[in-house]
């Protein structure tokens, strides 16, 4: 039998090829050259890339035998995951390969900003000896605020603790008890801004986190604050940061990421109190080698039909055909649950009812957790690391299956308990021969709405004119309503509006709606 063919489309460490072993035919090409890539990919079983090779619909159409796309790194911007999934091609990456490198760079930027390393170095190269001008500050016994206590945030916290720093953190999706075990005090964002001498950002970039640190937030900070962002560009508003640094509202910043990259002409680069690097978080020999070895192992597992820990779009192992259609629905339910909860749940129950409980439905628990954590952690969430993410955040998880399902052939519910005892729930089902996805329950309200890319849920006191008010505000914001349903407990009681819209609703419009209808809660969900 011929060996499976693995195409290496970019320069990878020699350890990558060694990790693949002798069981494959290894080919090489320049993946950045489309004229070379398209014919080269036509008969291969797997392709290994970094960031220069675009594996898009055109490449997938040419790759008739392709089973696995492996990205030797964390991001997947150059891989069309949706198209790969539709083509039945597994996508894997190396989600933990660069976490140590990223954490170390964040600490390096913090130290460099605190000690004026960049301007002092530039002055010395210009023949100037300016010891007194560049007097810095120590990290010892200062307070550092970690914004986002995911894997990289935890590593930064551990390293800065060793400097003798007091560590506080803001992350609504981490339990206080879990943080306390690490010696970290959880606080809200306003408290962190008020107390922190240093701040390091480690959040994923989502619609909710873009611009999270802006003019209002920086106005609450100490004038001595040193801010570091080595996570994602855009989380810190660059214009607001420039003004704060220029006017002395905060002291200094260390930046590795920018809203638009490559970035070579930011006004931030003109300031002496800014130290900046060109997105070097993963740029170490060790991180590149770890990434190559990790994806090589994943390719070996995938082509041998085994479970792949770092698969981002396909669950390894045997899954019953009757269970498969429920997987993407359950992931969406998890993302809706997270948006409704707005914080970490202490307990999550994944309830599966109906005919599919005759099969092994463990994958639906994993799909639920994958959805729950997709929008709140920096790491790429897979079916294997999702339970670990729950454990790291102190969230207990339970799978409940019941054959009885009075109202639906099959029903999947994610139900959680928050720290204050509040219950949050969302349910979905598949209807008709086409197995169309429907949301059928939200926090105890019966609904019937398609989980489209953009959703919103508004809870308020039932009064005349509320629906018209909502429609008017959305119309004024040029947001088209694709579907709407009003559910209520009783006349004049609590009501819930479930909205499916054609585009995302901005935070400003949501705030306007909340004020106009005096809403108890307003939640938007982006499933793109």
Name the residues annotated as catalytic.
232, 261, 279
Residue of 312, 349, 316 lying closest to 334 (CA atoms): 349
Tokens of 418: 């928050």
Q: Which region holds residue 45: left if phi is over 0, alpha if psi is between -120 and 50, else beta?
A: alpha
Asked whether the bond before 262 is cis by omega within 30 degrees of 0, the reply is yes
Tokens of 286: 């060790």
Beta strand residue intervals within 206-280, DSSP E: 226-229, 252-255, 274-276
Q: Which residue bears the tokens 């088209």?
A: 480
Do residues 46 and 6 touch, judged by C-beta distance below 8 A?
yes
Beta strand residue intervals within 231-287, DSSP E: 252-255, 274-276
Bridge partners, 500 (sequence order): 455, 483
Q: In terms of C-beta distances under 8 Å and separation of at least 24 residues, what long-range contacts does 481-490 make, across chains too?
A: 482/452, 483/449, 483/450, 483/452, 485/447, 485/448, 485/449, 487/442, 487/445, 487/446, 487/447, 488/445, 488/462, 489/445
- Cα Rg of the chain (Å, integer): 25
Residue of 435, 414, 304, 321 lying closest to 367 (CA atoms): 414
């Amino acid at each position: 039998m011929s060996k499976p063919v693995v195409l290496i489309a970019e320069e990878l460490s020699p350890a990558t090829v060694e990790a693949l072993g002798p069981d494959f035919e290894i080919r090489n090409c320049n993946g950045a050259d489309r004229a070379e890539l398209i014919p080269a990919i036509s008969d291969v079983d797997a392709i290994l890339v970094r960031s220069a090779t675009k594996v898009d619909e055109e490449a997938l159409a040419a790759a008739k035998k392709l089973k696995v796309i492996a990205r030797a790194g964390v991001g997947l911007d150059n891989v069309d995951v949706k198209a790969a999934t539709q083509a039945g091609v597994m996508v894997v990456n190396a989600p933990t390969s660069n976490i140590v490198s990223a954490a170390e760079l964040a600490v390096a930027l913090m130290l460099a900003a605190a000690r004026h390393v960049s301007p002092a170095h530039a002055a010395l190269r210009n023949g100037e000896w300016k010891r007194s001008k560049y007097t810095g500050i120590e990290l010892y016994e200062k307070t550092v605020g970690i914004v986002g206590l995911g894997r990289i945030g935890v590593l930064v916290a551990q390293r800065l603790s060793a400097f003798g720093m007091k560590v506080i953190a803001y992350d609504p999706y981490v339990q206080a008890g879990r943080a306390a075990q690490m010696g970290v005090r959880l606080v809200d964002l306003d408290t962190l801004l008020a107390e922190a001498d240093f701040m390091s950002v480690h959040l994923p970039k989502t619609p909710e986190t873009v611009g999270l640190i802006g003019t209002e937030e920086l106005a609450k900070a100490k004038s001595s604050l040193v801010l570091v962002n080595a996570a994602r560009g855009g989380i810190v508003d660059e214009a607001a940061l420039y003004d704060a640094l220029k006017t002395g509202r905060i002291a200094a910043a260390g930046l590795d990421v920018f809203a638009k990259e490559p970035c070579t002409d930011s006004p931030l680069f003109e300031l002496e109190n800014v130290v900046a690097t060109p997105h070097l978080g993963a740029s170490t020999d060790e991180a590149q080698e770890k990434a190559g070895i990790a994806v090589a192992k994943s390719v070996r597992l995938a082509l041998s039909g085994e479970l792949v820990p770092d698969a981002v779009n396909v669950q390894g192992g045997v899954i019953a055909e009757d269970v498969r259609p429920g997987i993407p629905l359950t992931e969406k339910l998890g993302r809706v649950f997270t948006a409704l909860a707005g914080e970490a749940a202490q307990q999550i129950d994944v309830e599966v009812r109906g005919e599919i409980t005759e099969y092994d439905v463990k994958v639906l628990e994993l799909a639920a957790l994958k959805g729950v954590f997709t929008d709140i952690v920096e790491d790429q969430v897979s079916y294997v690391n999702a339970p670990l993410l729950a454990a790291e955040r102190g969230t207990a998880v339970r799978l409940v299956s019941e054959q009885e399902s009075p109202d639906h052939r099959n029903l999947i519910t994610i139900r959680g308990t928050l720290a204050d005892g509040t219950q949050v729930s969302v349910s979905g089902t598949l209807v008709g021969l086409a197995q169309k996805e429907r949301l059928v329950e939200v926090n105890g309200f019966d609904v019937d709405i398609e989980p489209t890319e953009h959703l919103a849920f508004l809870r308020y006191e039932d009064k005349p004119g509320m629906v018209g008010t909502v429609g008017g505000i959305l119309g004024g914001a040029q947001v088209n309503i694709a579907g709407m349903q009003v559910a209520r407990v009783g006349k004049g009681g609590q009501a819930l509006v479930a909205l499916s819209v054609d585009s995302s609703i901005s935070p400003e419009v949501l705030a306007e709606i909340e004020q106009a209808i005096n809403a108890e809660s307003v939640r938007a969900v982006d499933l793109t």
